[in-house]
Amino acid sequence: MNDDLIALAGNPNSGKTSLFNAITGAHQHVANYPGVTVERKEGYYSQNGYDLHIVDLPGTYSLTAYSPEELVARQVLTTERPRVVINIVDASNLDRNLYLTLQLFELGIPVVIALNMIDVAEGRGIEIDAGELSRKLNVPVIPTVARSGRGKEELLAVASRIAREGAGSIGPPQIPYGPDIDPVLQEMEAKISSAGLLTGLYPARWTALKYLESDEEIVAKGRVAAPELSAELEKMVARVAEHLRKTLDTYPEGIIADYRYGFISGLLKSGVMKRKPAADRLYLSDRMDRVVTHRVAGPLIMGLILYALYYFAFTGSDAPVKWLQSGFAALGAVVESTLHPGLLRSLLVRGIIDGVGGILAFVPIIIFIFFGIAFLEDSGYLARAAFMLDRVFRTFGLHGSSFMAYMVGGGIAGGCGVPGVMATRTLRSSNERLATMLTIGFMNCGAKLPVYALLIGAFFAKSKAQMMMLLTLISWAMAFLVAKFLRTTILRGPNTPFLLELPPYRLPTARGLVIHTWERAWLYVRKAGTVILAVSILFWALMNFPRLPESKRAVFDAQRRVIAAGLAYQAKGVEAQLAGKPAGDLTAAAIDGDEARAALRYSLAGRMGIALERITRYCGFDWRTNVALVGGVAGKEIVLSVLSTAYAMGRSGSGKTVPLGAMLKADPTWNPLVAFTLILFTMLYVPCVVSVVCLAKEAGSWKWAMFSVVFNTTVAFVVAVLVYQVGRLLGIGI
Ligand code: GDP
Ligand code: MG
């Protein structure tokens, strides 16, 4: 297999011709490509009896089809299929030159990088770590000075070896294009490869990218080869394009270019390139990054931003939450006064209005937090946070890509574990991926938020934002510690390298923020109206059946008759006998309350909660909390809705709806320590049913899903007992 083709590709003025001449000497000839005035230069080189056939491609910055040079370069690469591409890059202009490199990667031809002009780079105070660049990109990188021929031999040795033997395990990473493009890209790629559309010429992912970039040549070819599929792909592209136009005021090509530049800038900042400050031309984005990702200032800024976000969310949502709460209370009162006492009224008021309304009242805080997160995301700040946390993630055996998964799962508060678990797909190592999936449940998803908001509002009203900061720190710390534990025990294995994208900073558009916020808030409201409604009704039923037997009810009726007859002292006697303790003020309402509590204890849910008290008393939870926690397995909001129903039912059969927070504060079994312990337990225990199912699917086995159920609940229990017992010993919050 002699005469293998090697292509030389690079930007204009990167030193391509110099390198070509150095390699081929006099053995070259020049012609024109058919139909265009672009020169085609070919040459030959012999090494140890092995002949290389080298073609010098026209110099281009990109492989889009905007100029004849680009078209020709692309043509040669895709139709003549060289065995290797030597990509010559100008080391003194690396960021711009690597843009072409990324596109060469996507063509799927093995690439060897000639890091040229290193003498010029050094002269300008730019230091490039070729070894690090090679490790990060997973392709060979050979420093050269084309003008003097330095590095030529090594370059050719590597290139001819790959031409002979293939690239083997050498292969560059896939460039991520962000949450808007990536899912569509994946879907399109799957369609293209299963239909075999142009796959003889181009990799499926490349074709999909060209569709997204609206590349005329490729789309035209696609239409001819498979009109229906092509129309479908174009429709998919039109949908993303429309979404991007509305939210970010840009096009898919724009996003793709941004992510490529972001990828390069993250790569160069991750230890590949060092510049002496004097030689530095800093752009605004780079200048901002200097401060924002600074070793000391960076984390401080991150903390401040988070604090500001929580402060803004809690203070801003305070009034609307109160309006909604009193609105639902008023609604409850209206229903209460229109309907006769009975099961229907109880279902509507206690089951539905208290249960679902209790959650919906917290929608404003969700909206505020989602808005803040959309701002951080759209502005490009979140990518910087990932950049800073990369080293931390590594320390705990996780991967930089775990950051986005955590973020989606509620890293700031208000995400969801289901898309979070799915976001781990970008992780290539299965152990890193599992460790991430199994710890995402510790993040503060949107479902936990109303539970926190209520308990913080009732017991830590003076320091809401600080509490939320503390909870965020605790959930990250727990996720890291548990991940480290898993990665040093059952999920051992090496770390894989991570490349960060740093898209440029942008001022988010108001429209984009509103749309992003609305999309997420609506999902939340819809969940409250469907799943949560159904589970609330189920738990209402569990709390109402079986009903108190006739004989027990007769006792309460007797008490009421006694009171009605004005024989209060006798009633006291009855009450004392019943409860085994002396009674306080005895009124008809108090007897109603006693009866309601007795009925609740008698119900299925009540019995379950009471049975669980044997274990949960070590962390200070009474039976009503237990019922709520059992309900929370279906969705963590349920903790709140069941607590509302349980306390409202336990109060009395009638009387106006009182916010749960006020009821808990008035209840002697509750104090800040119990509230804090419950928050921690809610944060850590078993992920909700939907995310467990999702985990099973993504991990490919129920074993891991079951593991997470048992493991997380154990962790939660241990932490809750520790916190509660230590708190009591030290007398904190009781
Ligand atoms: P092309 O446009 O990519 O073909 O680049 P050329 O080979 O024509 O080189 C452009 C200019 O850079 C020429 O003046 C070369 O002499 C010079 N040059 C090429 N490689 C190097 C190098 O490694 N170091 C230095 N200092 N100059 C180089
Ligand atoms: Mg040239």
Q: In the predicted model, what is the mean pLDDT of residues 334-343? A: 87
Res 591: pLDDT = 78
* CA max distance for the chain: 122
Average per-residue pLDDT for the chain: 86
Tell me: pLDDT of 154 over 90.
yes
| Structure-block tokens of residue 490 | 């059952």
Lowest mean pLDDT among 32-41, 272-281, 450-459, 538-547: 272-281
> In this predicted structure, what is the pLDDT of residue 400?
80
Question: What pLDDT sits at residue 673?
Answer: 96
Whose Cα sits closest to atom 13 in ligand 1? 15
**Ligand 1 atom closest to Cα of residue 117:** 23
Domain ranges of the chain: 2-165, 178-275
d(CA 548, CA 595): 9
* pLDDT over 70, % of the chain: 91
Cα 94 to ligand 1 centre (Å) = 15
Candidate of 8, 11, 13, 142 to mutate for ligand 1, largest count of ligand atoms within 8 Å of Cβ: 13
Ligand 1 closest atom vs CA 20 = 7
Backbone phi, then psi, for 397, in 5-degree steps? 75, 15
Task: Round the CA-based radius of gyration of the chain to a whole number and report it.
Answer: 33
Q: How far is CA 463 from CA 471, 495, 577, 663, 672, in A?
A: 12, 39, 44, 20, 12
Protein residue whose Cα sits closest to atom 19 of ligand 1: 15
CA distance 70 to 88: 16
CA–centroid distance, 162 to ligand 2, in Å, is 25
pTM: 0.64
Q: What is the pLDDT of residues 423-434, one digit of tens each?
A: 787 677 889 999
Which percentage of the chain shows pLDDT scores above 90? 38
Ligand nearest to the CA of residue 123, numbered in listed order: 1
- State pLDDT tens for residues 256-299: 988 998 899 889 888 888 876 544 445 677 778 888 888 889 88
- Residue 150 Cα, ligand 1 centroid: separation in angstroms? 13
Residues enclosing ligand 1, CB less than 6 A? 10, 12-18, 59, 116-117, 119-120, 145-147
Dihedral over alpha carbons 562, 568, 569, 574 (to 10 degrees):
40
pLDDT digits (tens, 9 = 90+) for 682-727: 999 999 888 898 899 888 889 999 999 999 999 999 999 999 999 9
Q: What pLDDT sits at residue 710?
A: 96
Ligand number nearest to the C-alpha of 21:
1
Closest residue by CA, ligand 1 atom 9: 15
Q: Tell which atom from ligand 1 comes closest to the C-alpha of 116.
A: 23
Identify the CA nearest to 504 among candidates 237, 182, 278, 287. 287
Q: In which band, very low, low, confident or very high, does the pLDDT at 34 lie, cut at 50, 70 and 90?
A: low
Ligand nearest to the CA of 122: 1
pLDDT at 1 over 50: no
DSSP, collapsed to helix, strand or coil, labels residue 683 as helix
pLDDT-derived band at 675, boundaries 50, 70, 90: very high
Residue 654 above 60 pLDDT? no
Distance 147 CA to ligand 1 centre (A): 6
Three-state SS at 228: helix
* Fold (CATH) for 178-275: Helix Hairpins (1.10.287)
Of residues 533 and 591, the one with the higher pLDDT is 533
Residue 697's pLDDT is what? 84
CATH, domain 2-165, list 3.30.160.270, 3.40.50.300, 3.40.50.2300, 3.30.460.10: 3.40.50.300
* pLDDT value of residue 570: 53
Q: Please count the other Cβ atoms lying within 10 Å of the Cβ belonging to residue 200.
A: 8
Residue nearest to atom 24 of ligand 1 (CA): 117
- For residues 562 and 614, the model is more confident at 614
pLDDT at 285: 72
Ligand 2 centroid distance, CA of 50 (Å): 26
Cα–ligand 2 centroid distance for 145 (angstroms): 15
pLDDT digits (tens, 9 = 90+) for 86-107: 999 999 989 889 999 999 999 9
| CA of 449 relative to ligand 2 center, distance in Å | 61
Pocket test of ligand 1: the residue of 18, 19, 96 to mutate, having most ligand atoms within 8 Å of its CB, is 18
Give the model's confidence band at 169: pLDDT under 50 very low, under 70 low, under 90 confident, else very high. Answer: low
- Tens digits of residue pLDDT in 564-608: 776 555 555 555 555 544 444 467 767 777 788 888 889 998 999
Most confident of 359-373, 510-524, 671-685: 671-685
Distance from the CA of 21 to the center of ligand 2, in angstroms? 10
Mean pLDDT score, 182-202:
92
Centre of ligand 1 to C-alpha 721, Å, is: 70
Distance separating alpha carbons of residues 527 and 536, to the nearest angstrom: 12
- Measuring from atom 16 of ligand 1, which residue has the nearest CA? 147
Q: How confident is the model at residue 500 (pLDDT cuts 50, 70, 90)?
A: low
